[in-house]
Amino acid sequence: MDDTGLLRHAIAISADAVAHGNHPFGALLASPSGEVLLTAENTVVTERDVTGHAETNLVRLASRTLAPADLAAASLYTSCEPCAMCTGALYWAGIGRLVFAMSEADLREMTGAHPDNPTLALPCRDVLAAGSRRTPVEVVGPLIADEATVHHAGFWG
């Protein structure tokens, strides 16, 4: 599986989110062979839904359309480390692997105290470590953070 290529695809989805009037976050779900199964972008602004993060949107769609065994075998790729809400969603959905480009700490450094993007200093690994799944979620990242920051640069003003 090409983690870097799939992360670049998630980053491209984050650019689509901005083009559609939303915050720059994108995510996708891939099979073990690297086939893209589903994609989702942030819809917080256009849907007027504070839970419309790219990862949560993806998990909602995935849990409605894929079997639990497929979710367990899948990897969620995202342009930025998922927040506690999104991490909880992928945990409850039973997704087996998470790969992210930019860390929440990098995002916090870029956005500062921007009112449209308050962040939680709660890394996804800490959220997942609090779980009791028999098979823990594998976490990979941050990777290619410099590429993921491109769509955030200047966005948060």
pLDDT digits (tens, 9 = 90+) for 50-107: 999 999 999 999 999 999 999 999 999 999 999 999 999 999 999 999 999 999 999 8
Is pLDDT above 80 for 1?
no
55 is catalytic: yes
What pLDDT, on a 0 to 100 scale, did the predictor assign at position 117?
A: 64
Structure tokens of 10? 């998630």
Catalytic residue among 55, 81, 104, 147: 55
CA pair distance 134, 17, nearest whole angstrom: 35
| Angle made by CA atoms 61, 22, 32, in degrees to the nearest 5 | 35
φ/ψ (deg, to 5) at 100: -130, 155
Q: Kindly report the CATH class assigned to 3-152.
A: alpha beta
Per-residue burial over 23-53, b if 16 or more Cβ lie within 10 Å, else e, is: bbbbbbbbeeeeeebbbbbbbbeeeeeeebb
